[in-house]
A = this chain, B = another copy of it.
């Protein structure tokens, strides 16, 4: 019996690799002779470079970069044999790099991600994939572009300071200083959400609050990003206001598409292709995936949902294990999941579930596989016709 184990990270507790190990251990406890294939996944969010890089035996390289508040750090990225560089926005510009007090939706800059991108280009990358997700920024990618040589100017021709709110004073984008490498090497963006740049579900209104934005910050940022979109359309001829995934990573996706023409991709589909998920799925009896929280957001291109759609297309049952199953998870919309179970084994506090996530995930996986095997082996096919 072949079992495919393809979890996302469980944010705040387990990496996709740790989650895969836990699920695989549980599956093997339930069925010691199973062929268990571990395919840790990501969806363009934090961990994309690691997941794809490890699956593809990448080199990992480092570059110097400034964090979202301008402090120097080293940022790691993956380098595939074919010259593709995979860079996670979260590595240089991630929310996880800041303490609660350091967060600032209005001031945080994605400049560091641009530095890593530039380093990869200068090292000879033939293609760059940017995994966006987990960013601390709402700057519409202005920081990334500044690091590549683009200037964001006010109406006095002065360069704008870092951060999203300054874009409210944007008068002109001068791309004459853009490094030529960025014009010739394909840059693609693996997006972890399908949200647009602007509007109720956009980079400011939906995501800025968790990046430290107050209610008035959110509206300031919405105006600033609107201004950015207006100028981008005027100067580059691309409307990035409502395009799918333009709001990913505080609008980095929209900014890179608008100014550089970068292609935006659904992160999970790109990752699943890159790690060979369909090949792993061939001949599988069951696929197990996992996520920290399963809820209606999960249907917006999150990892397990991408896994479920492919498993369903291949006719492989797929079970998702969640740290938390939201009250909005109902059969209809989630029908590509065969079933879902929480890893919580009793009433517990969130803190406890996070601390013991590996143990709980392993236990839940064991039970799912036990039930699956019992059902599969107790199924009594119709007896063959008796032979004369």
Contacts and interface: CB of A to CB of B under 8 A. Distances in A.
Interface of A: 29, 285-286, 293, 315-317, 319, 322-327, 331, 338-342, 344-350, 352-353, 364, 366-368, 370-379, 381, 384, 387
B375 A286 contact: yes
Contact of A379 (B322, B324, B376): B376
A378 B48 CA distance: 32
Contact of A348 (B293, B347, B379): B347
Given A317-B374, A374-B317, A378-B285, A344 B341 contact: no
26 contacts: A285-B378, A315-B378, A317-B371, A317-B374, A317-B375, A317-B378, A322-B346, A324-B347, A325-B346, A326-B346, A331-B366, A338-B374, A341-B367, A342-B346, A344-B344, A347-B348, A347-B350, A347-B352, A347-B353, A368-B371, A371-B372, A372-B375, A376-B378, A377-B379, A379-B381, A387-B387
Taking each of A368, A379, A384, which has the highest tally of chain B beta carbons within 10 Å of its own beta carbon? Answer: A379
B347 A346 contact: no
A349 B340 CA distance: 21
Nearest to A335: B370
A274 to B, nearest CB: 28
A21 to B, nearest CB: 19
Contacts of A371: 317, 319, 338-339, 368, 371-372, 375
Contacts of A384: 384
Contacts of A350: 347
Nearest to A346: B324
A307 to B, nearest CB: 15
Nearest 7 pairs of A and B residues by beta carbon: A375-B375, A324-B346, A339-B371, A376-B379, A325-B345, A317-B374, A381-B381
Given A29-B331, A374-B317, A384-B384, A367 B340 contact: yes
Contacts of A315: 378
Contacts of A347: 323-324, 344, 347-350, 352-353
Contacts of A377: 379
Given A325-B346, A327-B345, A379-B381, 18 more contacts: A322-B346, A325-B345, A331-B370, A338-B371, A339-B370, A339-B371, A341-B341, A342-B344, A344-B344, A344-B347, A344-B348, A347-B347, A347-B349, A347-B353, A371-B372, A375-B376, A377-B379, A387-B387
Nearest to A286: B375
A375 B373 CA distance: 7
A135 to B, nearest CB: 26
A363 to B, nearest CB: 8
Contact of A375 (B322, B342, B379): B379
A366 B329 CA distance: 12
Taking each of A29, A324, A339, which has the highest tally of chain B beta carbons within 10 Å of its own beta carbon? Answer: A339
A378 B342 CA distance: 23
